[in-house]
Chain A
Amino acid sequence: MTDPIIRAQAVEKFYVQPDGNRIEVIAPVDLDVEPGKIITLLGPSGCGKSTLLRILTGLSKPSSGEVLWHGQPIASQNAGVAIVFQSFALFPWLTVLDNVEAPLEARGVPALERHKRALRILDTVGLDGFESAYPKELSGGMKQRVGFARALVVEPEVLFMDEPFSALDVLTAENLRNELLELWLSKKMPTSAIFIVTHNIEEAVLLADRVIVLGKNPARVRADFPIELSHPRDRKSPRFVELVDYIYKIMTQPDLALAVPDATAAVQKPARQKYQMLPHARVGGVAGLLELLQDRGGKEDLYRLAEVLIMDAEDLLPIVEASVLLGFATLKEGDVEITAEGIRFAEADILTRKILFRQAALKHIVILQQIDSVLHAKTDHSISQEFFYDILDEHFSQDEVERQFETAMNWGRYAEIFDFDRASHRLILAEPTGEPHPPTTTPVQL
């Protein structure tokens, strides 16, 4: 075994709230970055993978634990790392050449050598002839090539990439991925390891020698396994499909047994009861998924669904999770199956759908139950949004609270459980339209 370049030991990230309550974003993670490998870090959106990347590069400090660079604390080192960013993060006022030279200027490389090295690397990534262009003159794919060139020009030992292809269109992304792989395999890059953060499962299987899957809330390693397929990899090969399917399974089943038992789990005191976390899906997405499922015989493989819909796992999974949460579908072994309730919903007209959704929401969604019962209990049938922010604050980070609230608003308004007045930031009890109250809509008591 070779020594790892970067070793993360029990790194953890949490925020301490004023009342002393800890919101954990990343549970203690051990992770090694070894030379000679492409490692991909997969995880659902908002799970903290980008945060973990920033900890590994030394950009941000873990709340506890340590990151070592060749055995030394990374903060004290001039770690040989570079990052390719999702948004490219190029400087629009510098030409392509100046952008690539900038990191060398920071290192005090003399002008002539700087120029030569930058030109050489621009040549490598296929940007010949674009030296004096400004980034805004380039297409997305070309911009990201500049991002690559800027990263490679410092000859990093580890090249980090934060969702490098997700701002690009499908074809451009595919092209760039292949070129990256070619550079890597032909050893044209001065880099001994690549660490890619992505939410695209196929991309991970296509590129990686090792895949790490993160779970969310808080982020923790769910799976960590090698991929030994030889390059170039065939997306249609049985092994490839099997691996993609396997990762889908892990990502959709939070309680699937972990391959490696978590050593820290035993010593942790039992966590507080987890509050139900809403997946960030819109009602329209749920309805669309259910209709499609019913069209396709009521049951479908997740991987196939993603293909049919041309959707990333990142976009598809919340919709699936929402359907499951509402009792409209079930998820087993990477297959989604519509339930009887789901069929009724898919076949109903607009008004009936609202009633069915309302029933399902009040039966299964904790926050909506809470809102409904509070609104009924109050004489003026209205309540400030702060009240719910306070509830959610106990369980989620600030950004997540916002997203949870937005999703709850979207669902609750559709279900006509309440109305939300943005000007006064108040929730107001809504009277459902159409038919008089069906008996089933009485609020579920907490």
Chain B
Amino acid sequence: MKRPERIAFRPLVRIWSVLPRPNAASLPDLIMFSGGLALFYGVVEVGRNWLGPFTPHVEISRSLGALPVYAGYSLLRIALAYVLSLLFAVTYGYIAAYRPRAERFMIPLLDVLQSIPVLSFLPGVMLAMAALFPGRQLGVEMGAVLLIFTGQVWNMAFSFYASLKSIPREMREAATIYRFNWWQRFVQIELPFATIGLVWNSMMSVAGAWFFLMACEQFGDFRLPGLGSYLQSAADNGDTRSILLGILTMVAVIVLIDQFVWRPVIAWAEKFKMEQVESASAPTSWVLDFLQRSRGVALFRKRAIRPLREQMIHYFAPKHEVRAESAGENKVVLWLWRCVGIAALGAIGYAVVRVVMILTGLHGSEFHQLGIGLVATFLRVNLTLVLGALWTIPAGVAIGFNPRLARIAQPLAQIAASVPATALFPVVLLVLIRLGGGLGLGSIVLLLLGTQWYILFNVIAGAIAIPTDLKEAASVFGIRGWERWRKLILPGIFPFLVTGMVTASGGAWNASIVAEYFHFKGQTYSTVGVGAMISEATDAKNFDLLLASTIALAAVVVTTNRLGWRRLYRLAETRFKLEG
């Protein structure tokens, strides 16, 4: 047996001789080594900038050479926000799943937080960050990161919570009877079980981050260097060439992330599927294959990950002598939780009082305006959904029923969907303004651009899921035309359609803030709606109105979800479920 740990003490020449010789197999290592160098350079650059003095209004260069740097900054913000989101989601989901008393208010709270649009968090986040890091660029940067975070985190938290809740009973019992400690449960059961849900929700969250990037990088007097602010500045100046270049860069970055991050992760997450038999067509990724061939990665796993894992096992093992179930709550811990609960209640109470005070300070006319705005946005959102459904249902079914068409159309649609609609806004606006339409019509087009994909993808999935024998039965009995739609297709895709519409509805409400109010060529275009009110209130620093309109919007979204969508959901899950 070789004893690898001795290598470190050998002279340099010897080390060189044990390093892999440059041949085809070491190419992966070479590339990864270069990648590491590049990363190091990036960290130094960013550190110099962020720890430097505070420059509230960065001049955005619209030169082509600046684009990669801006893209890098935006990417870094999104990545940081994503890491924060992941940590928060796991913690929040974990507590909610295992503490029934906390669960009772944490889950409804999630519902409300999810319906609050990103921009509404802006003033609070910015003030807090400016206070935490006075006079440093870091404060503003952290503010932007937190803003992106508020757009990403909620659905991930919910996904993790739901996964924990659905771990099979016998699996939990096995963990208890074999005395798994806390760490082992977490790493060997809970995390793996939640991985697939987390991956898909992460993809959605990051897509959402691109969507709101323009709003997150430029707000009020602040402006940070990034792709979002680049696009915004190009739009302000009506610079079509820069807009197009910016969009192109963004699409390129998104496609690269898809290839280098999401595809490998999805292919890797395949092993966490709770299936009893191996599925025939598992997703693959050339990047993952590449990594798995890399000797460096293998070495890293052997030298770093495995010993670390061993350390964790031994660190946690002796601590868990008493069975988890019978251990009972520690008195101190219990009191600690009670204190946290009381503090939270106190904070909520205080907040409610403040809110009431602020709301009573608003003018009657503002409430009137708010009411009209809500109705307008409500109509706009639902009109968008109807329009979206009208074209996506036939198109999605056509694609889903025709495998050859699906093979061509699906990747195309995926790329189209990955382009953040916000980035397209300037182009669309340009066209609309030339045609003479205002933002009233435009906002619907913009909402549609942002949300129709959710419906389309779900309809395609639904159409594919309709069993062949049902289709054959329909054609044998001569069910054709409208009858075929009524009896076979619509009921078949119903559960998928509902899922798509729910997601699209949530997305549309959120997108209304950017769709109803837009800076373009030094002008502000806006239309009647609660989204426009929120944006306007943010710009004008009218925090009272911002608060009022946010509460109203959240209330409407939560209510429609409870009264409308959730019922349809239940119907979809019971009556229209295709059971095997």
Partners in one complex: yes
Please report A residues at the B interface, Cβ cutoff 8 Å.
Answer: 54, 57-61, 75-76, 78, 81-83, 85-87, 89, 91-94, 102-103, 105-108, 110-111, 134-137, 150, 154, 422-423
Contacting pair B320 A89 (CB below 8 A): no
CA distance A76 to B321 in the complex (A): 10
Residues of A within 8 A of B174 (CB): 83, 85, 89, 150
12 additional A-B pairs beyond A85-B170, A105-B184, A150-B178, beta carbons within 8 Å, are A60-B325, A75-B323, A83-B173, A89-B170, A92-B272, A105-B313, A106-B181, A106-B184, A106-B317, A134-B271, A136-B278, A154-B178
| B528 contacts partner chain A, Cβ-Cβ < 8 Å | no
- The residue in chain A whose Cβ has the minimal distance to the Cβ of B185 is A106
Residues of A within 8 A of B176 (CB): 59
Residues of B within 8 A of A86 (CB): 170
A108-B314, A136-B278, A137-B278 known; A82 and B168 CB under 8 Å? no
CA distance A329 to B313 in the complex (A): 61
Residues of B within 8 A of A105 (CB): 184, 313, 317
Residues of A within 8 A of B188 (CB): 91, 94, 102
Give chain B nearest CB distance to A140 CB in angstroms. 8
A89-B171, A91-B188 known; A83 and B177 CB under 8 Å? yes
Query: How many residues on the B side are at the interface (Cβ–Cβ under 8 A)?
Result: 36
Q: Which of A75, A93, A154 contacts B272 (CB 8 A)?
A: A93
A59-B173, A85-B170 known; A103 and B179 CB under 8 Å? yes
- The residue in chain B whose Cβ has the minimal distance to the Cβ of A111 is B310
Residues of B within 8 A of A422 (CB): 574-575
| B92 contacts partner chain A, Cβ-Cβ < 8 Å | no
Q: Which of A60, A137, A423 contacts B575 (CB 8 A)?
A: A423
Contacting pair A136 B184 (CB below 8 A): no
Residues of B within 8 A of A85 (CB): 170, 173-174
Residues of A within 8 A of B278 (CB): 136-137
CA distance A82 to B105 in the complex (A): 37
| B318 contacts partner chain A, Cβ-Cβ < 8 Å | yes
CA distance A83 to B271 in the complex (A): 25
Chain B CB count within 10 A is highest, among A94, A108, A110, for A108
Residues of A within 8 A of B181 (CB): 106
Please report B residues at the A interface, Cβ cutoff 8 Å.
Answer: 168, 170-171, 173-174, 176-181, 184, 188-189, 192, 271-278, 310, 313-314, 317-318, 320-323, 325-326, 574-575
Contacting pair A57 B178 (CB below 8 A): no
Contacting pair A78 B276 (CB below 8 A): no
Residues of B within 8 A of A91 (CB): 171, 188-189, 192
- The residue in chain A whose Cβ has the minimal distance to the Cβ of B313 is A105
Contacting pair B320 A106 (CB below 8 A): yes
Give chain A nearest CB distance to B423 CB in angstroms. 38
Residues of A within 8 A of B271 (CB): 92-93, 134
Complex A-B: 16 CB contacts under 8 Å: A59-B176, A76-B326, A78-B179, A78-B323, A85-B174, A91-B171, A92-B273, A92-B275, A103-B180, A105-B184, A106-B178, A106-B320, A107-B317, A150-B178, A154-B178, A422-B575
Give chain A nearest CB distance to B396 CB in angstroms. 27
CA distance A83 to B274 in the complex (A): 21
Contacting pair A136 B275 (CB below 8 A): yes
Contacting pair B178 A54 (CB below 8 A): no
CA distance A57 to B173 in the complex (A): 10
Residues of A within 8 A of B168 (CB): 87, 89
Residues of B within 8 A of A103 (CB): 178-180
Residues of A within 8 A of B325 (CB): 59-60
Give chain B nearest CB distance to A183 CB in angstroms. 20
Give chain A nearest CB distance to B487 CB in angstroms. 17
Residues of B within 8 A of A54 (CB): 173
Contacting pair A106 B323 (CB below 8 A): no
Contacting pair A136 B277 (CB below 8 A): yes
Residues of A within 8 A of B189 (CB): 91
Residues of B within 8 A of A111 (CB): 310
Contacting pair A102 B173 (CB below 8 A): no
- The residue in chain A whose Cβ has the minimal distance to the Cβ of B172 is A89
- The residue in chain A whose Cβ has the minimal distance to the Cβ of B192 is A93
CA distance A375 to B188 in the complex (A): 54
